[in-house]
Amino acid sequence: MARPARQSMAAPIGRFVRGSGHHLTRSIAAALKIKLHVSGIAYRGPEAILKATGDPMTALRPLVLACILAVPLGAHATDATVTDEMFVTSDQVDLNQFKWKKRPLVVFADTADDPAFAEQMELLRALPEELERRDVVVITDTDPDARSDLRLKLRPRGFMLVIVGKDGGVKLRKPFPWHVREISRSIDKQPERKREIREMKERARGR
């Protein structure tokens, strides 16, 4: 007895898509138009492709590709904004403006060419999300001749990494570069950070 032929799902799906035609294409295009505009990608509707080919599936291909590309581009733009706001120089800020708001992480060196300074900045920029999660702002000072208020207060010698708490007190000094994981562990041991973690857990349970 002959087995019944297995029907491919491609034909019914194809008929459905083509039957939906313009409505399907335009609905997806409308949704993507907003997404692509926000992501900074130039948008051109599928009408020209649809008119030339008569095939909605062909018209959808560039839109699907653009959608895939739009997500990482938007994410990178957000990351860049966060990083720019997180890293500042000592002449731009005053420690008092961060009290009870941010945890200043101060990186001193006698010159920006100091290998220890370059290594520390590379480590910090590699994991900005960990710093952001702990409300860290990175302040750099590589000009001892400027005698900034921050330098006069903390009195570094050559390269120095200083962790300042939200209360304005110095929590830790290191004369060598430190990995973000070590910095994070040090911050998480601080009483004010422990309180923040406890409060976040309580809010999560209350949802």
> Each residue of 52-94: pLDDT tens digit?
556 555 555 655 454 444 444 444 444 555 567 899 999 999 9
DSSP notation for 177-191: ---HHHHHHHHHTSH
Q: Which contacts (CB < 8 Å, 24+ apart) does range 172-177 have?
A: 176/116, 177/116, 177/119, 177/120, 177/123
In this prediction, residue 31 carries a pLDDT of 42
Write the pLDDT tens digit of every residue in 115-163: 999 999 999 999 999 999 999 999 999 999 999 999 999 999 999 999 9
Kindly report whether the global pTM for this prediction surpasses the value 0.85: no
- Residue ranges and CATH numbers for the domains of the chain are 11-78 (no CATH), 93-206 (3.40.30.10)
